[in-house]
Amino acid sequence: MNDYTEYMPFLIPLAILEIILAVVALVHVLRHPHYRFGNRPLWILIVVLVQIIGPVVYFAFGRGDE
Which domain does 42 fall in, by range?
Answer: 34-66
CA of residue 37 relative to chain centroid, distance? 16
Domain membership flag for residue 53: yes
The angle, 0 to 180 degrees and rounded to 10, between the axes of the packed helices 40-49 and 8-31 is 170
Domain membership flag for residue 54: yes
Domain membership flag for residue 20: no
Distance CA 41, CA 17 (A): 23
* Residue range 18-38, pLDDT digits in tens: 999 999 999 999 998 888 888
Domain membership flag for residue 25: no
How many domains in the chain? Answer: 1
Residue 4 has a pLDDT of 80
Domain membership flag for residue 1: no
The pTM is what? 0.80
Residue 66 has a pLDDT of 61
Distance CA 18, CA 36 (A): 23
Domain membership flag for residue 47: yes
